[in-house]
Structures are given as structure tokens and as C-alpha cells.
Amino acid sequence: MSTDEQQQRQRTYTWEDPAPTSAANRDMHGLDFLRGLMDGTIPHHPTSRTLGFTVTDAGEGFAEVTLEPQEFHANAVGSIHGGVLATLFDTAMGFCVSSTLEAGVGYTTLDLQVRYVRPVQTGKGVIRVQGFCEHTGRRTATARGEARDSEGRLLATGSTTCLILR
């Protein structure tokens, strides 16, 4: 089969200017910022648009992001690339830390560890990655996370340490 006869795959998407989202993240209490992402008053950042995930739940010390795996997330062996899941963990665990921070206090990831339990495939429903803040101190915070499929099966676990920026 020639290249012309093969099905062309294409993806087009849009994103917002990231500056207002970054400013809101910096200037608002973390939980209020997450609520703004969920209700649409604050646009999701470009990374979420690129990969196609959204913040779907949040509380004090908790954040959830969801993604429906697509063909464009695939790696060379046909499962969803581990970097996609790592990004979801970084987001969910960072946001759960953020939910504990007052306005004007920022954070950044110091380390990120993801342990993959089973492969993620397309066509199997939504993936939920939840972050749980374990400790927020003056200089650092720690969090853990879980990724589960639509049937509740554990796909991966994660942990992070974040630097608190005062």
C-alpha cells in the first residue's frame, strides 16, 4: 500500500495564552485556582490541551486529573507512553500540593517518581490520576498519587517532593 493510500492521521487543537493561567495560579489560593479550572473560569494550561486531560476534582490536599487515552498517546510498543502518565502524575500531585497553599505562595517539582503496574491501552475508558498531599511544610511538600482505569484497576503509583516558593 502506498503512502497516499494509507489513512492520514491528523490532530488540531487550540490553547489559551498561558500567562493569565500562570498569574491566577500565583495570585490565588491553590484550591480556588483549581475550582476555577474545573468550572471553566480559568483556562487549562497548554500542556493539558496538548495531551487532552482536565482537572475533574479537587479538595484541600487532593486533586484529580482525567484523560481518555487516544492513539496519539501511543509509544513504539503500542501502549500509552509512560511520559503521558508521568505528566498526569506531575500535574495531579503538584495541584494537590497547590491546594494547600495560600495566595502568593508557589511551588515547583523537585523530584517525581512513577511506578508502572500495567500497560494503558486506548479504547478502555478514562484514566483517573489522583494526587494526595501528605505534608506541606515551610520549604517542601510531599505527595503521592494513583492512576486507575475506568474499572478501578491500579495502573501506576507516583510520589513527588515539591519546593515551596515563598
| DSSP line for 57-89 | EEETTEEEEEE---GGGB-TTSSB-HHHHHHHH
| DSSP line for 81-100 | -HHHHHHHHHHHHHHHHHTT
- Average pLDDT for residues 54-64, to the nearest whole number? 98
Q: How confident is the model at residue 143 (pLDDT cuts 50, 70, 90)?
A: very high
The pTM (predicted TM-score) of the whole model is: 0.94
Provide the pLDDT for residue 56.
Answer: 98
Query: Using an 8 Å Cβ cutoff, are 116 and 155 in contact?
Result: yes
Instruction: Please write the tens of the pLDDT for every residue from 20-57.
Output: 999 999 999 999 999 999 999 999 999 999 999 999 99
Per-domain residue ranges for the chain? 18-165
Domain 18-165: give its CATH code.
3.10.129.10
Strands 154-165 and 106-116 turn out to be: antiparallel
- Average pLDDT for residues 134-143, to the nearest whole number? 98
- Whether residue 4 is predicted with pLDDT greater than 60 in this model: the reply is no
Provide the pLDDT for residue 72.
Answer: 96
- Which single residue is written with the C-alpha cell 517542601? 140
- Average pLDDT for residues 8-26, to the nearest whole number? 95
